[in-house]
Amino acid sequence: MASAVTFVDAWIPELIEPGSVLLINNTSDDLGSGSSFCALLNCPNCGRMEVLTEDQFAGRIPVVCGGVDCPAQFYLRDGKTIYASVGRS
């Protein structure tokens, strides 16, 4: 199961839908001072706002929704959310 991620230019509540992603800052440098990466995701399952790490944004590690009743766990890949698992047994 996969659904499209929508990249938005601003976090305007009226325009945010489940699966919306806002890339706030993606400036990293090679000087060892670290990355100031910052991105937000609206959970495609429950609509909860999550802060994404650079690894999550790049699809290297899964996004796990922090919603109490939300089982969403997925990867962001190629502009889509790829679900690693959905539903609790």
- Binding segment for Zn ion (CB under 5 A), chosen from 22-30, 52-60, 69-77, 81-89, is 69-77
Binder to Zn ion among 72, 74, 75, 81 (CB under 5 A)?
A: 72
41 binds Zn ion (CB under 5 A): no
Euclidean distance between CA atoms 19 and 2, whole angstroms: 11
User: Residue 74, CB half-sphere, CA atoms under 13 Å: how many?
Assistant: 27
- Binding segment for Zn ion (CB under 5 A), chosen from 2-10, 22-30, 46-54, 81-89, is 46-54
Residue 32's SS3 state is coil
